[in-house]
């Protein structure tokens, strides 16, 4: 599946020429020429507007779409999982058993959810760039850009009441103001059993053929009533076929196609090995916790599931970067562009050597790799909440444009939505993960490191974790609200042990963040812009901007792919689901939910269940609708195959495929397995 | 699927230590120690004798087993295909429609079939080695060995009336006399539609998951009555499970595990590229012929099918040899052994440098690569028959032990069975393939080459082919018999244009064969023996001998394998068959036969259809029974997955798998799809 994974260093620098069905395109610049030439299709402005307005972003990391006039939204089960789990208790486990709302008044609200619809795109490149002069240092330029951005966002929020984000595109060659309509009353309508949503578990994750009903229906509410969205995608009545052109409208989280070689090598040699090491460690803690009993297993399930997913994804990315052939192509392209710049003395003089500048920064960053990863609030949701509580009054008191980005006025509502979420927090789980984190920090930095001293104060990691978790009151949402209401004085006066821990970490974490922003990101951004400038001059603007969790349009036909000596078919069917389960003797993670065993004879087993297209997608696209030329819903993206993990760096349509649940499979399951006919009827309405 | 592919140079030289479930073991030396230690199983002498006597060899390249007391034999459809095709006509196509004998008297005889059962194994190493002295040259040694071998075989045939073959094992370190009971009255009992036997066609060939009913039942007859074999494998009533230990008893055609690096490199750089080039060319001729009409398509089908199979197999082998890591392991092992020999001055002096000697021969062989491949009787079945007719009287007149091997007394009955086969021969197809072959010969060797001059006599290739095919009478079996009866005088007097063509080729072909036998094989054999000697001294006899189309026992548990990011399940079911067909929209080569569409509802779709084990197999194992510890039939080998193509050179159980049709799937199809209850009942009888 396709949750986004972000690493700190931003996506930058010189692009290769786009080819084939490459590209996650912004809605104001779709690849009309290629669509017309290759596929004979010209999407109209109305088509594009409808698709955009029917697309939604789930802010905890996924995409989705409106599929009815009454605010019904469809996303993946793994995107909605946190809500399904939060609504479950030790007595009723909707993750295991699924949930079918019997009527609209039985649609329970998801704590802390926020869903966005992109309602406006405005080019603000001139406004942002006007703030920066050539004479400024990298840091001055970064500060000036930040201030300009904050002002634009604030003015927009004040004027529209909407969420407003200034988006950097093409390595800072362009800036756009994206305005979002927000829905924060999001309720659960339908979730299948996790064992069918994630049939095949970790082994089958990121693979195809696949047999998952990875869907979850929510409904957006406004003023206590089902929302009436500006657009929705009608459920297709035209059978999707091998070769049919499809579109994906969603929110790819991030790509690194335009990284310099120095950045790719740092990713390969430092970032990814570190990330995999941390994931492995976290997984082992959660698995040990999970083994304590069925309730512990239930509590940790969603988190384990997310970490396993990240591990497999990052492992696939590392494999991609270890591919010497693909890396050779990247290196040759960079060498070519650098050669062209060197051959143009005027340009060379004005640009300097931005590749060398970035490489130097990567070297500095690698030297602080351990410290950078250990200095922060990781390890516990409670510690992260405490950090927000500590920082909120401090940041809020600053002028809007010099605050940390997440505390800007334009982001505060989203931040508060998360801060006051009623999602359950389990003490024993918090304690286990925090204790392990603090142990790791001590192992990695040593007892004498200032951060370790500040955090542990000479005590054992397990002791610090135990006292902080057991002693804190901030698990209570009302306590959090009171602290915020009390301002800085209340935080300063607090003796809550988790708040105290966050206060001890805060100055050290701020120092690291300042260094990263001023000495790393500012340099990378400035030089990235320069490389982009060279690229547009010599090669033209032939690619889409790197992904950044904003709305994009991808496209590609339904198409199988060569693998293991044969051709993988573009579709799977319910027959394949029953085959895979029986082939493994119906054991975990291929055990079918009871409903599927009992209602098998009711199903038309040849109904398509999943399918693949060549569309260019990445983590964050989870839940994106797959759309036909008529602008109808034909499926929902939930994964890429194992080869698609390289898409972070390289696009290829040889084997990389985006995996969708087929609209027909969803409907067949709703009617025949779940007897959810009211829901199915709502989908059929136009 | 697993038809054997032989290259001329024999299998030789230093082995690596055996590990895991490696090894195609002779029945007089099964890996009892490992079976006991790892699997806790000790096959008794009775178990081994029963399995051996129930195993059969189909002499045109496959394996099989007796599965009833009444001579019922089971092999693969692709092993029996030639018979099914030969029994078909333009009016009734059993290849397309399948054949179910309604009763025993409707079991039609297969033209030219011979089936062998291994009834005796005798160590004749001392007898063969006694003929060779150190003072002899390589050629003298080869001649002496040949003569000794021929005498042993002849004495055995005269004494027993059986087929007797002296088998070289362990690079000539050992020789064994294998005695076979022969069945030449072989009749067709049941063949499914080729589209289900070979479901998925060339794309799915050599892959898994798989969904093929690749079976064909024959019955051996003696004196016009169903044969009563010494043993048969009872059909299991115990469900086979993931992890169960299984055995494979069959006739692997050839492996090259003990090749020197020089030989492997020659295979990689010369033999395989040549073989692939020729296969590609032959395929294009047959495909063009096939497109002329449905009858032509039917005629060429079996041949195309065989060539596509070879192409995919050899392509997989080439891929294996291009794997630098695996080749590095081979090279290191060879270097190690050579180092050990060099460190032992006495041994080094007695052996010389056998690796260098083989490398030198490979170089000579590469220089004549083109000529070697162009000089012969390839291109037409009629030309091959003519060659046999021309050579028969000449060879027969020689003392037994200096004849070409295939004309030795011990082989004559088999040769005559093939020579007098009534299998249909199609003039237009013969003409097309012969004309192309002659064209190729002219392209490769040039008009001035003696072989080209002798063959074409200044005429165009198409003209020579047309005249030879249209003018020959040897298509008539009676004409062939008369020529043989007439002896050398009849052949000399013959003006039949095909005979004339064979006569012109014969001396040139003999010259090439003599060079290959005396200057290549003799050197390789002598030096291979020396390397084997060094190997046994330093590393011990820890491996099975390379395969050579004699009966071997392999073993390994039922086990899935990692691929494409997930784990492929060890079984497939009928659900998987219907899934794959529907996933491709029921198009070729995944189109289901009518019976399967009509009778789907009668099937228990969760019945296992195919499964994989780690058993060590190779081309020639097609049709081998897969047997459980109780000595019962649980499945029939019909293929390996794509990774198994490397098994020619390296064994690995990481991904390589042997693919079987499951006994349960066969029975389910026989009863529910074909209503072949009499046959199914015969299988159930003990």
pLDDT at res. A411: 85
Question: Does some domain include residue B128?
Answer: no
Q: How far is B361 from chain A (nearest CA, A)?
A: 35
Q: How far is A378 from chain B (nearest CA, A)?
A: 30
Angle between helices A381-396 and A409-419 (to 10 degrees): 150
pLDDT in tens, A157-179: 999 999 999 999 988 888 999 99
Is A585 in Cβ contact with B575 (below 8 Å)? Answer: no
* A322 close to B (CB below 8 A): no
* B570 close to A (CB below 8 A): yes
* B584 close to A (CB below 8 A): yes
Q: What does the CA dihedral B379, B384, B385, B387 come to, rounded to 10 degrees?
A: 130
- DSSP assignment of B631-656, as one string? S-EEEEEEEE-GGGGGGGT---SSS-
Which ranges constitute the DSSP H helices of B398-521?
A: 409-419, 427-445, 450-456, 461-471, 477-493, 497-515
Q: Give the other-Cβ count within 10 Å of A150's Cβ.
A: 21
pLDDT at res. B5: 41
Question: Does some domain include residue B567?
Answer: yes
- Answer yes or no: is pLDDT of A252 > 90: yes
Q: How far is B292 from chain A (nearest CA, A)?
A: 28
Same domain, B265 and B219: no
- Answer yes or no: is pLDDT of A3 > 80: no
Domain count, chain B: 2
pLDDT at res. A653: 86
Q: Of residues B326 and B631, which shows the higher confidence score?
A: B631
Residue B240: alpha-carbon gap to chain centroid: 28
Same domain, B510 and B605: no
Same domain, B242 and B98: yes
Among B468, B502, B534, the domain boundary falls at: B534
CB B245 within 8 A of CB B38: no
Q: Which of B208, B583, B585 sits opposite A572 (nearest CB)?
A: B583
CB A629 within 8 A of CB A620: no
Of the pLDDT bands very low, low, confident and very high (cuts 50, 70, 90), residue B537 is: confident
Radius of gyration of chain B (CA): 25
Q: Order the strands of the A633-640 sheet from edge to edge.
A: A552-557, A245-250, A625-627, A633-640, A658-662, A608-613, A571-573
pLDDT at res. B6: 35
Per-residue burial over B110-119, b = 16 or more CB atoms within 10 Å of its CB, e = otherwise: bbbbbbbbbb
Is B565 in Cβ contact with A573 (below 8 Å)? Answer: no
* A241 close to B (CB below 8 A): yes
Is A575 in Cβ contact with B578 (below 8 Å)? Answer: yes
Nearest to A553 by CA among A8, A1, A34: A34
Find the helix or strand (DSSP H, E) in which A321 lies: helix A294-321
CA distance A532 to A132: 17
* A571 close to B (CB below 8 A): yes
CA distance A33 to A554: 14
pLDDT at res. A16: 37
- Answer yes or no: is pLDDT of B670 > 60: yes
- DSSP assignment of A589-655, as one string? TSPPPHHHHHTGGGS-TTSEEEEEE-----TT-TTPEEE-TTS-EEEEEEEE-GGGGGGGT---SSS
Question: Does some domain include residue B271?
Answer: yes
Same domain, B501 and B466: yes
pLDDT in tens, A461-507: 999 999 999 999 999 999 999 999 999 999 999 999 999 999 999 99
Same domain, B361 and B390: yes
pLDDT at res. B2: 55
pLDDT at res. A643: 92
* Residue length of chain B: 686
Q: How far is B640 from chain A (nearest CA, A)?
A: 11
Of the pLDDT bands very low, low, confident and very high (cuts 50, 70, 90), residue B311 is: very high
Q: Provide the mean pLDDT of chain A.
A: 93
What is the sign, positive or negative, of the torsion defined by CA atoms of B194, B197, B198, B199? positive
- Answer yes or no: is pLDDT of A6 > 60: no
Strand A115-123 to A174-183 pairing: antiparallel
| Chain A interface test: which of B243, B311, B314, B565 (most A C-beta within 10 Å) | B565
The three-state DSSP-derived secondary structure of A113-152 is: CCEEEEEEEEECHHHHHHCCCCCCCHHHHHHHHHHHHHHH
| Chain B interface test: which of A564, A585, A644, A655 (most B C-beta within 10 Å) | A564
Reduced to 3 states, what is the DSSP secondary structure of residue A659? strand
pLDDT in tens, B596-653: 999 999 999 999 999 999 999 999 999 999 999 999 999 999 999 999 999 999 888 8
Query: Could you say which DSSP state residue B235 is in?
Result: B
Same domain, B493 and B394: yes
CA distance B483 to B498: 13
Residues of B in contact with A606 (CB under 8 A): 578, 582
**Cβ under 8 Å to B: A residues 636-655:** 641-642
* Count of H-run helices and E-run strands, chain A: 27, 19
> Distance of CA B95 to CAs B85, B284, B302, Å?
6, 22, 9
CB A321 within 8 A of CB A264: yes
Same domain, B573 and B517: no
CA distance A651 to A546: 12
pLDDT at res. B652: 83
Of the pLDDT bands very low, low, confident and very high (cuts 50, 70, 90), residue B18 is: very low
CA distance A530 to B245: 64
Q: Which residue of B has its CA nearest to A211?
A: B579
- Answer yes or no: is pLDDT of B9 > 70: no
CA distance B202 to B190: 23
CB B422 within 8 A of CB B480: no
CA distance B258 to B261: 9
- Answer yes or no: is pLDDT of A298 > 50: yes
- Answer yes or no: is pLDDT of B7 > 90: no
- Mean pLDDT value of segment B82-93: 90
Q: Give the other-Cβ count within 10 Å of A621's Cβ.
A: 31
CA distance A625 to A633: 6
B534 Ramachandran zone, left/alpha/beta (phi>0; psi -120 to 50)? alpha
Verify cis geometry, omega within 30 degrees of 0, for the bond prior to A34: no
Among B479, B504, B534, the domain boundary falls at: B534
What is the domain range of residue B367?
Answer: 261-534
pLDDT in tens, B152-174: 999 999 999 999 999 999 888 88
Beta strands, E only, A20-84:
55-58, 62-66, 72-75
Is A580 in Cβ contact with B605 (below 8 Å)? Answer: no
Residue B281 CB-half CA count within 13 A: 20
Same domain, B248 and B388: no
Same domain, B495 and B364: yes
Nearest to B347 by CA among B525, B532, B523, B133: B532
Same domain, B245 and B308: no
Question: Does some domain include residue B652?
Answer: no
pLDDT at res. B19: 56
Q: A205-219, A253-267, A399-413, B484-498: which range is least confident on average?
A: A399-413
Q: Give the other-Cβ count within 10 Å of A162's Cβ.
A: 17
Work out the percent of chain A whose per-residue pLDDT is above 90: 84
Which ranges constitute the DSSP H helices of A167-260?
A: 194-197, 201-204
Residue A169, C-beta contacts closer than 8 angstroms, at least 6 positions apart: A26, A175, A176, A545, A548
Work out the percent of chain B whose per-residue pLDDT is above 90: 84
* B604 close to A (CB below 8 A): no
pLDDT at res. A182: 94
Nearest to B3 by CA among B664, B643, B639, B683: B639
Q: How far is B207 from chain A (nearest CA, A)?
A: 6
Q: Which residue of B has its CA nearest to A582?
A: B606
Q: Of residues A404 and B536, which shows the higher confidence score?
A: A404
pLDDT at res. A571: 98
Find the helix or strand (DSSP H, E) in which A365 lies: helix A354-367
Q: Provide the mean pLDDT of chain B.
A: 93
Question: Does some domain include residue B154?
Answer: no
CB B376 within 8 A of CB B444: no
Strand B216-222 to B185-191 pairing: antiparallel
What is the sign, positive or negative, of the torsion defined by CA atoms of B314, B317, B323, B328? negative
CB B337 within 8 A of CB B538: yes
Which pairs from A586-593 meet CB under 8 Å and 24+ separation? A588/A201, A589/A195, A589/A198, A589/A199, A589/A200, A589/A201, A589/A202, A589/A203, A589/A204, A590/A199, A590/A200, A590/A201, A590/B569, A591/A195, A592/A195, A592/A196, A592/A199, A593/A98, A593/A192, A593/A193, A593/A195, A593/A196
Verify cis geometry, omega within 30 degrees of 0, for the bond prior to A209: yes
- Mean pLDDT value of segment B545-564: 95
For chain B, how far is it from start to end, CA to CA, in angstroms?
30
Question: Does some domain include residue B555?
Answer: yes
Determine the Cα angle at B497 with ends B491 and B499, to 5°: 35
Same domain, B327 and B434: yes
Among B508, B534, B560, the domain boundary falls at: B534
CA distance A151 to A162: 15
Nearest to A48 by CA among A72, A32, A33: A32
pLDDT in tens, B400-430: 988 998 999 888 988 998 999 988 999 999 9
Which ranges constitute the DSSP H helices of A540-588?
A: 574-583
Is B582 in Cβ contact with A578 (below 8 Å)? Answer: no
Question: Does some domain include residue B371?
Answer: yes
- Answer yes or no: is pLDDT of A439 > 90: yes
Residues of B in contact with A590 (CB under 8 A): 569
Residues of A in contact with B642 (CB under 8 A): 564-566
Of the pLDDT bands very low, low, confident and very high (cuts 50, 70, 90), residue A5 is: very low
Q: What CATH number does residue B559 fall under?
A: 2.40.10.120
Radius of gyration of chain A (CA): 25
* A312 close to B (CB below 8 A): yes
* Count of H-run helices and E-run strands, chain B: 27, 19
Is A573 in Cβ contact with B583 (below 8 Å)? Answer: yes
Beta bridge partners of A165: A178
- DSSP assignment of B413-425, as one string? HHHHHHHT-----
- Answer yes or no: is pLDDT of A44 > 60: yes
Question: Does some domain include residue B405?
Answer: yes
Residues of B in contact with A603 (CB under 8 A): none
> Distance of CA A93 to CAs A88, A294, A298, A300, A327, Å?
5, 11, 8, 13, 46
> Distance of CA B678 to CAs B101, B190, B236, B684, Å?
10, 11, 18, 10
CA distance A552 to A48: 11
Out of A410-414, A526-530, A626-630, B144-148, the most confident range is: A626-630
pLDDT in tens, A182-235: 999 999 999 999 999 999 999 999 999 999 999 999 999 999 999 999 999 999
pLDDT at res. A56: 98
Residues of B in contact with A203 (CB under 8 A): 566-567
- Answer yes or no: is pLDDT of A258 > 60: yes
Q: Which residue of B has its CA nearest to A583?
A: B571
pLDDT at res. B11: 28
Output helix, strand, coil percentages for chain B, rounded to the nearest 5. 50, 15, 35
Q: In terms of C-beta density within 10 A (0-12 exposed, 13-18 middle, 19 or more buried), how is residue A339 classed?
A: exposed
Q: How far is A609 from chain B (nearest CA, A)?
A: 10
Same domain, B343 and B298: yes
CA distance A492 to A619: 40
């Amino acid at each position: 599946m396709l949750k986004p994974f972000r690493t700190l260093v931003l996506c930058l620098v010189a692009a290769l020429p786009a080819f084939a069905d490459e590209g996650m395109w912004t809605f104001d610049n779709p690849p009309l020429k290629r669509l017309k030439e290759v596929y004979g299709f010209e999407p109209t402005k109305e088509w594009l507007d409808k698709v955009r307005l029917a697309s939604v972003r789930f802010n905890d990391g996924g995409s989705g779409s409106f599929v009815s006039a009454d605010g019904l939204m469809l996303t993946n089960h793994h995107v909605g999982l946190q809500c399904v789990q939060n609504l479950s208790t030790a007595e009723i486990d909707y993750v295991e058993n699924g949930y079918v709302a019997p009527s609209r008044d039985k649609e329970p609200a998801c704590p802390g959810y926020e869903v966005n619809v992109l309602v406006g795109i405005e080019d603000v490149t001139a406004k942002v760039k006007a703030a920066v002069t050539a004479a400024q240092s990298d840091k001055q330029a970064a500060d000036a850009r930040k201030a300009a951005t904050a002002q634009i966002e604030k003015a927009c929020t004040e004027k529209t009441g909407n969420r407003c984000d200034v988006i950097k595109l093409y390595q800072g060659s362009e800036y756009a103001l994206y305005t979002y309509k927000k829905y924060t009353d999001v309720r659960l309508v339908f979730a299948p059993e996790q064992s069918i949503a994630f049939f095949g578990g970790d082994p089958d994750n990121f693979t195809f053929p696949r047999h998952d009903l990875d869907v979850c229906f929510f409904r957006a509410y406004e003023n206590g009533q089902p929302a009436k969205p500006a657009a929705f995608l009608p459920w297709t009545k035209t059978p999707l076929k091998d070769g049919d052109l499809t579109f994906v409208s969603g929110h790819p989280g991030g790509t690194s196609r335009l990284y310099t070689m120095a950045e790719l090598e740092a990713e390969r040699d430092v970032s990814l090995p570190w990330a995999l090491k941390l994931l492995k460690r976290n997984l082992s803690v959660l698995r040990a916790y999970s083994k304590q009993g069925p309730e512990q297993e239930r509590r940790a399930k969603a988190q384990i599931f997310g970490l396993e997913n990240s591990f497999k994804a990052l492992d696939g990315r590392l494999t991609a970067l270890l591919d010497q052939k693909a890396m050779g192509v990247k290196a040759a392209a960079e060498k070519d562009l650098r050669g062209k710049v060197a051959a143009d003395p005027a340009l060379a003089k004005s640009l300097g050597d931005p590749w060398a500048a970035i490489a130097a920064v990567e070297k500095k960053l690698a030297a602080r790799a351990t410290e950078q990863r250990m200095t922060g609030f990781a390890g516990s949701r409670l510690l992260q909440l405490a950090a927000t509580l500590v920082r909120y009054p401090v940041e809020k008191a600053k002028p809007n444009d010099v605050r940390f980005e997440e505390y800007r006025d334009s982001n505060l509502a989203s931040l508060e939505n998360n801060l006051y979420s009623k999602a359950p927090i389990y003490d024993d789980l918090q304690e286990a993960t925090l204790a392990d984190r603090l142990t790791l920090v001590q192992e990695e930095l040593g007892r004498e490191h200032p951060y370790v001293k500040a955090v542990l104060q000479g005590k054992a990691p397990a002791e610090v974790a135990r006292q902080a978790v057991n002693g804190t009151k901030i698990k209570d949402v009302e306590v959090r609200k009171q602290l915020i209401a009390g301002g800085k004085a209340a935080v300063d006066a607090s003796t809550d042990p988790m708040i105290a821990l966050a206060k001890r970490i805060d100055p050290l974490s701020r120092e690291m963040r300042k260094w990263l922003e001023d000495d790393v990101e500012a340099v990378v951004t400035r030089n990235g812009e320069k490389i982009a400038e060279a690229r547009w001059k010599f090669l033209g603007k032939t690619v889409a901007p790197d992904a950044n969790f904003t709305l994009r349009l991808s496209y590609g036909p339904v198409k199988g792919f060569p693998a293991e000596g044969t051709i993988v078919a573009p579709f799977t069917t319910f027959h394949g689901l029953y085959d895979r389960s029986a082939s493994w003797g119906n054991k975990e993670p291929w055990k079918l939910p009871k409903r599927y065993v009992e209602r098998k004879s009711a199903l038309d087993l040849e109904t398509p269940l999943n399918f693949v297209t060549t569309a260019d997608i990445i983590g964050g696209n989870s839940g994106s609708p797959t759309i036909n030329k008529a602008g109808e819903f034909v499926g929902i993206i939930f994964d890429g195959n194992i080869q698609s993990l390289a898409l972070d760096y390289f696009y290829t349509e040889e084997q990389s495929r985006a995996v969708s649940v087929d609209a027909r499979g969803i409907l067949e399951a709703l009617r025949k397995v779940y007897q959810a006919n009211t829901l199915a009827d709502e989908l059929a309405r136009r």
